[in-house]
Amino acid sequence: MSTNAMIELALDRVDWNDLAGNQEQLPRVFTPGEVLMPESGFMRGHGTFVEEENIVASVAGVIEKVNKLISVRPLKSRYVGEIGDVVVARVLEVGQKRWRVDTNSRLDSTLLLSSVNLPGGELRRRSAEDEQMMRHYLDEGDLISAEVQNIFEEGTLSLYTRSLKYGKLSQGMLVKVFPALVKRRKMHFHNLPCGASVILGNNGYIWIAPTKGEEQEGGEGGFVQNLNEVVPRSEREVIARLRNCILALAKCKLMLYDTSIQYAYEESLKYEPRELLQQHVMFDIGQQTQARLRDVDLVD
């Protein structure tokens, strides 16, 4: 078997900063310890604290003003959950009446047994039997899609899957990016025209799966996991290409949402999926996508 190895010279390495381009209007960025403004008449929000009657930034980022609330938003951080966010999560532990799941946030999140749809009727009472069957429904290592239902005092997220949209994930691929790169939008489930569907979790976990047929749509939201079904090679290639496109966009620090992913996918068609792992190809895709997104912005 012969393989082609690519060895890149340090000389040819890509300067990712080239994507920044020249912009006339740059927002002011603050660094930890920098004084934002005097405290009088303002309220301090996230990323700030008060010292000697001044509001001081505690993270590096841009200032955000909502009426009198001053906060500083870092450009990169762990996932900070908000109620209603769509997340993709992995089960870490099966506990008493709850699952402990990883959502890439500061603390592990919980999924209560009462917040999932159990097979056999929406409003069924949860019995002791169900508790014993919990591992049967969701086991350690399983991936789920869910929504943030509640945020507890110390910041633990409580999730729920009581909708047909959510539930256990079957066959597909998980991509992890920095949570700040996923744009908050109304829709986070997308059936892309290229023949795959993506779930853009707000927590930076992205799920790529083959698009399901109409007749199977109702079967989700539960714990069915069809691992016997063979995904044809063409679909797997599309998924691999999408994964590499998403990683290229993330590398270029571009925002991830349906349009940007679709554009990147279209730009990537001139390359083989495996070529998309090369630095200069990633850069090219980032640049093309950025240009197209900027064009759309201008038209709007």
Partner 1 sequence: MSGRLELLSEQGLRLDGRRPHELRHIKCKLGVFEQPDGSAYMEQGNTKVLAAVYGPHQAKAKKAEGNELIINCQYSQATFSTSERKNRPRGDRKSQEFKMYLQQALSAAIKSELYPRSQIDIYVEVLQADGANYAVSLNAATLALIDAGICLNEFVVACTASLSKSNIPLTDISHVEEVSGGPKLTIAALPTAEKIAFMEMSERFHIDQLETVIETAMAGCREIRDILEAAVKEHLIHIGSAADWARVC
* Backbone Cα Rg of the chain: 22
CA 259 – CA 296 distance, rounded (Å) = 10
How many alpha carbons fall within 13 Å on the CB side of residue 140?
4
180 near partner 1, rule: CB under 8 A: yes
Handedness of CA 176, 87, 92, 207 (dihedral sign): negative
Q: Residue 1 or residue 299: which is nearer to partner 1 going by CB? A: 299
Binding segment for partner 1 (CB under 8 A), chosen from 19-27, 121-129, 139-147, 222-230, is 19-27
128 near partner 1, rule: CB under 8 A: no
Q: Residue 79 or residue 223: which is nearer to partner 1 going by CB? A: 79
CB atoms within 10 A of CB 52: 8
Place of tokens 């603050």: 30
Query: Taking the complex as a whole, how short is the minimal distance between the CB of residue 59 and partner 1, in angstroms?
Result: 6
CA 17 – CA 55 distance, rounded (Å) = 31
Query: Taking the complex as a whole, how short is the minimal distance between the CB of residue 278 and partner 1, in angstroms?
Result: 16
Among 39, 108, 130, 266, binds partner 1 (CB under 8 A): 108
Query: Taking the complex as a whole, how short is the minimal distance between the CB of residue 248 and partner 1, in angstroms?
Result: 12
CA 229 – CA 268 distance, rounded (Å) = 28
- Which residues sit at the interface with partner 1, rule CB under 8 A? 16-17, 19-21, 23, 26-27, 29, 31-34, 47, 49, 56, 58-62, 64, 73-78, 106-108, 154-155, 180-181, 183, 250-255, 286, 290, 293-294, 297
